[in-house]
Structure 1
Amino acid sequence: MKREKLVIVGNGMATTRLVEELVARRYEGDITILGDEDHPAYNRILLSAVLEGTHPIDALTLRQPDWYAAQGIDLRLGSRVLEIERELRDVMLVDGQKIVFDKLVLATGAIPTLPPIRGLIQLDGSLHPKVHAFRSLADTQRLLDAMEELSVESRPVRAVVVGGGLLGLQVARALSVRGVETEVVEGTEHLLSQQVDRKGGTVLKRHLKKLGTEVYTGARAIRLTDEGLKLDTGYTLDADLIVLTAGGRPSTALARGAGLTVRRGLVVGEHLQSVDDDNIFAIGDCAEFEGRVTGFVPPAWEQATLLAAHLSGEDVKYEGSRSVARLRATGLDVAVLGDPEHTEGDIVEVTNPIIGTHRKLVVDGNVIVAGTLIGDLSRIGLITQLFDRRTILSDTEPGELLMAERPDGDSSTLLPDEAEVCACAGVNAGRIRSCRTFEEAKEKTRATTGCGGCASVVRELIEAAHVPV
């Protein structure tokens, strides 16, 4: 019997999860992965941790090439796809090689978009030497190299981060920790404006200012000159480094070229298949389902798991993903559930700008439908669980969930088994306690392999569960 040929374009976090799930289900087909980067797949969420200096680059690798070889998977790094030929059922690489497929998965992710700032691009089409994107391992290494070169000069290194979203705050925090004099420019009226309200943005701004980071909101960078980065407010910011973190869009050029329906992303149906071709699928940032693209890792992992089940013959349907976004930066804790700025419902909130906390729940019919937590995530597991299960609360519970600070001596070992510990991978405390070591928990549950924010809780749960009697 002929074995099915499955080709996956893209070698990021979504592809890694897809392949792991296919292996676990004993998928009976030949798998080829085409990744245009020269590196094995790595955890993009932790790039800011590498920039900050808390993680070595090697720690980001998800699976080594020998793992793929052991599974009989053809992993091709540095392989860029030029086009998809749907009628011939093959993809062509830039070197002219053609690879035949029976089924094709596009996991091409998102690509950065350049803001409309004059002077970013030189006459030869390259970025100005001061300008750095921050999307890939290569971007991170280039920025680290530039920081090292500048550090030999007898003056502080100055950086401007363009964009005050999740990625911009991570980069700004990392640069500040490294001793770089950092400024943030955000065009909207407050930081993280797509996810939090003005009160939350104010708390975040105060946190950055404590690090010596100046924040300019309601201001747009318009031109890069020899004097610095000029804003539309008339200010010019002196900068040795300019890091672009504002804006990204689904990578859909291959899908468009193949004549597939693309709006914001490649439009997919209930099996994550293209609405034009049942043998072509999409997962992660490049996929659009019911008018929505995700942009975060947990939904991409959920899509990968469901697609692996479908390809393995299981009867499953995709109905959309919950949205839980986490900001990974040392000492700066942010979690956003759903879309708190655009979801209708009653608002329950508590803000303490002095200690840097802001908590907000949107409640509809006594059910948490969205929320924001800044500065204290001690109850994120419980709140996420209630949000995810659409638990009906009493009239007083939403306020009670937000009121108490985490008391001294409070321990994650008191968490019930059903409490969610890792929001990225959807892992509860019971599954963590069933593992004997940190590495076993990481391998079997994938906890800590997303944003990494749950690492300390995972260690504490395992140590407490396996204390010698």
Structure 2
Amino acid sequence: MRGEGGLDARSLALDARPPAEAGGRAERSASDERASRPPAGERLVVVGNGMAATRLVEGLVAGGYAGHVTVLGDEPVPAYNRILLSAVLEGTHAPDALTLRSPDWYAGHGIDLRTGTRVLAVDRGHGDVMLVDGTLVPFDRLVLATGSIPTLPPIRGLVRHDGSLHPRVHAFRSLADCEGLLAAAPGARRAVVVGGGLLGLQVARALSLRGVATEVVEGAEHVLHRQVSAPAGKVLARSLTRLGTTVYTGARVVRLHEHGGPEAGVGLRLDTGVVLDTDLVVLTAGGRPSTALARGAGLEVRRGVVVDDHLTSPTDPRVHAIGDCAEHRGVTTGFVPPAWEQAQLLAARLCGADVVHEGSRSVARLRATDLDVAVLGDPVGEEGEVVEVSNPVAGKHSRLVVRDGVIVAAALVGDLSRVGLITQHYDRGTVLGVREPGDLLLPDPVSEPPALPDEAEVCACAGVSAGEVRGCSSLEHLRETTRATTGCGGCEQVCAALVEQASPRRAVVETR
């Protein structure tokens, strides 16, 4: 029997119940069941309200999903584009420009959006989700889109006795984090960014553009060590130095200590013995899939929430996971393109399509003013013949990994003029001639770059081709119909040019 607040005997025993009792393993594997259109009254609950969840809901609306959808998000605002938080920090985007869909959009499509709502537990046995206030939200089908959570680096003095971060220390994962850093930046002369990954470089560049003298500390031997090779990392570090940011590699912060009163800055001691004096510390290093709810519900979890080729938990065919929290074929991703790809595929399945997920390609872009980086696949770990062209003076480095004539990975730093063609070959598995890989990295400096064929992908985040862009009447039309430019934003210039080039041709056709 349930009490008024939902806290009854079965909820108190939630953690003590063994996984098999909490719903048990499905009698038949989810991978064996054929997709079918769900019943009209199906109750679908989505836990998480980030970019993956938003794309899922958009797909459900477009596919005519017949059930009732409830979206539970713990942030107090509608879903927004996390990739462009650094653009807000730079000052090139307003915070409200990041909103993906307004509350009115959800209401207009009959979707129950609940922001500022934290989920306490999932009870598969009773088929409901419990919120921290004791409210129970029943479900027939559940999607976990809980994303990832930051991990704190082992720095002494980082956390105060009450468990809060030192007031000079800021995380950078949410809009609230960004707003806090924006409030602190005007009074700061110096900042240290801990972490030289994609996010760390974006934050460092944004702070530099705001006039804050910024330093980056990276424990690996070069920045972006997970995405690019050492020569490319050195080119990036040199470019950052030229733009006014100092980079320390092969060093870790081990201690934070205060210099004096609340108006004084802090010191960060590195394991090399160097002490960096600063007014702000920004943490961008480390993150892991958010799996606590899945573990508590007795679902199979490794690094992420395990899902099969239908993005369904092998423990319970009613439960799915997408985005950063999901683990498919032993792989977890931390980028928007695979999360959006999973969301679109799951939406199609829930609307009745018989489609399977065969794995996501890895495409990453660095979104920072004057720093251009694109990474396809794993150019550091992938085996094959390496074709490289480097010009450190100009801040350019390009690397293709080719196996049996096919591009299996690529990293482009400082020059993205050929990224569309390279992505096209990468996606299609085109078998290139002996000279072609080198030619792709050596565009003719005199002539204009070749026109992109309609099949060439220009928006890696949303998987939109040049032909699809040319078919749109404006950037607004493009964003609404394809979601191009709404991810990292790196394709906006190319998309704008393609739309503009196509306008005269559309006018000619329309007058005939």
Shorter-chain TM-score tier: over 0.9
Partner of 1:357: 396
Do structure 1's residue 265 and structure 2's residue 297 form an aligned pair?
no
Post-superposition offset of 1:405: 5.9
Deviation track 1:98-127 (CA, whole Å, cap 9, x = no partner) reads 000000000000010000000010011100
- Out of 399, 411, 426, which is 1:372 matched to? 411
Letter in 2 for 1:443: E
- How many angstroms does 1:218 deviate by? 0.4
Please state if 1:327 is matched with 2:352. no
Task: State the match for 1:45 in structure 2.
Answer: 83
Matches within 5 A, 1:22-101: 22-101=60-139
Identify the residue that residue 221 of structure 2 maps to in structure 1: 189
Q: Computing the radius of gyration over CA atoms, which structure comes out larger, 1 or 2?
A: 2
Which residue of the partner structure matches residue 109 of structure 1?
Answer: 147
Q: Which amino acid aligns with 1:82?
A: L
Contact 2:423 2:457 (8 Å CA) reproduced: yes
Please show how residues 6-405 of structure 1 align to structure 2 within 5 Å. Answer: 6-148=44-186, 150=187, 157-227=189-259, 228-404=267-443
- Partner of 1:328, secondary structure, is strand
Quote the offset at 1:404 in angstroms.
2.1
| 1:425 aligned residue | 462
Any conservation in 1 of the 2:40–2:66 contact (CA below 8 Å)? no
Mapped to 1, the partners of 2:444 and 2:488 lie a distance apart of 23
* Separation of aligned partners in 1, 2:410 and 2:457: 16
CA deviations on 1:296-344 (whole Å, 9 max, x unpaired) are 0000000001101111111111110011111111111101110111110
Moved over 3 A (4+): 405-408
1:406 Cα deviation from its structure 2 partner: 5.6
Q: Give 2:477's aligned residue.
A: 440
SS of equivalent residue, structure 2 residue 153: coil
- Counterpart of 2:258 in 1: which secondary structure? coil
One-letter amino acid of the structure 1 residue matched with residue 117 of structure 2: S
Residues 435, 274 of structure 1: CA spacing in aligned structure 2 closer, same or farther, 3 A cutoff? Answer: same
**Deviation digits for residues 329-367 of structure 1 (CA, Å, limit 9, x no counterpart):** 111110111011111000000000010000000000000
Post-superposition offset of 1:458 = 1.1
**Contact (CA 8 Å) 1:381, 1:423: kept in 2 or not?**
no
SS of aligned partner of 2:278: coil
CA distance in 2, matches of 1:196, 1:18: 31
Question: Structure 2: any 5+ residue segments left out of the alignment?
Answer: 1-38, 260-266
Contact 2:417 2:449 in 1 (8 A): no
Structure 2 distance, partners of 1:15, 1:372, is 29
Q: 2:371 is paired with a residue of what secondary structure?
A: coil
Displacement of 1:379 in angstroms is 0.7
2:263 is matched with none
Secondary structure of the residue aligned to 2:455 is coil
Instruction: Please say if residues 334 and 372 of structure 1, whose CA atoms lie closer than 8 Å, have aligned partners that are also in contact.
Output: yes
Q: For residue 493 of structure 2, what is the amino acid of its counterpart?
A: S
How far has the Cα of 1:2 moved from its partner?
Answer: 5.7
CA distance in structure 2 between the aligned counterparts of 1:463 and 1:291, rounded to whole angstroms: 43
TM-score, structure 2 length as denominator?
0.89
3-state SS of paired residue (1:55): coil
- Alpha-carbon separation, structure 2, partners of 1:338 and 1:443: 28
The 1:95–1:350 alpha-carbon spacing in structure 2 relative to 1, beyond 3 Å, is same
Deviations 1:403-429 (A, max 9, x none): 126657x368x2221111111111111
Instruction: Give identity over the alignment, percent.
Output: 67
Equivalent residues of 1:252, 1:266 under 8 A apart: yes
CA RMSD, 1 decimal: 1.1
Q: Specify the code of the residue in structure 2 equivalent to 1:401.
A: L
Q: Give the drift of 1:81.
A: 0.3
Q: Which SS does the other structure have where 1:238 is aligned?
A: strand
TM-score normalised according to structure 1 size: 0.97
Count of matched residue positions in the alignment of Structure 1 and Structure 2 = 461
The answer for the alignment partner of 2:3 in structure 1 is none
Q: Deviations over 1:108-160 (max 9, x none)?
A: 00010000000010011100001000000000000001113x15xxxxx1000
Kept after mapping to 1: 8 A contact 2:306/2:314: yes
Task: Give the residue type in structure 1 aligned to 2:158.
Answer: L
1:154 aligned residue: none
Letter paired with 1:33: V
Residue 109 of structure 1 contacts residue 284 of structure 1 at CA under 8 Å; is this kept in 2? Answer: yes
Contact 1:378–1:406 (CA<8 Å) still a contact in 2? no
> Which one of 456, 461, 465 corresponds to residue 498 of structure 2?
461
CA deviation after TM superposition for structure 1 residue 376, in Å: 0.6
